[in-house]
Amino acid sequence: MKIEIRGRKKILVTECAYCGDDIEKPAYTRTLEAKRHFCDRSCNLKKMNEELNPTRMTFEMRMAVRRGHLGKGQGKAYPKILGRHAHRIAAEVKLGRALLPGEVVHHEDENRQNYSLENITILSSQKEHAKLHAAKNRGDAK
C-alpha cells in the first residue's frame, strides 16, 4: 500500500486481496484504516466465501445436493444435471458441440423425462418446433 500525490489529490494505491489487481482510491482516513482492499464486491464475496465456507459447493457437494433432490418432484419439469437441463446436455453430446442460441431440443415421444439420444431431435428455432407440433396435432406427421 502506498500513497501517491497527483496534483492536489492523494491517491491510495493498493492491491486487491483476492485477484491481485491494483486499486486506486482517494486516500481518505477511513480507506487507510481498512484492513483489506478489494477491487469490487464480487472479489470481496469470493474471498469471504473461501475463508468462511471453504467446503461449500465443491463438485462433491453439488452432486450430494443433486442426489438429495432426485425423485422428489412431480415429474412435470425437465430433469437437471448440475443446474442445466439434461435434454440439452444430451443434445450437445449427440451433436458433439454446444447448442447455438435459439436451437431447440424436441422429445420425439413428448416425455420430458426421456432424454435418451434416440429420443431427442435438435431443431434450429422455436418456429420450426411449433410447426412440428402443429403437424403432429393435425395428424400430418409420422
pLDDT in tens, 62-99: 888 888 888 787 777 788 888 889 999 999 999 999 99
Does residue 21 fall inside a structural domain? yes
pTM over 0.85? The answer is: no
Q: How many domains does the chain have?
A: 2
Q: Rounded to the nearest 10 degrees, how much is the dihedral formed by the CA atoms of 122, 112, 76, 102? A: 0
Cα–Cα distance for residue pair 104/38, rounded to 1 Å: 41
| Maximal C-alpha separation, the chain | 80
Does residue 115 fall inside a structural domain? yes
pLDDT in tens, 13-22: 888 888 888 8
Does residue 49 fall inside a structural domain? no
Cα–Cα distance for residue pair 33/41, rounded to 1 Å: 18
Does residue 65 fall inside a structural domain? no
Contact predicate 59/79, CB 8 Å: no
Does residue 18 fall inside a structural domain? yes
Length of the chain, please?
Answer: 142
Q: Which residue has the cell 424436441?
A: 106
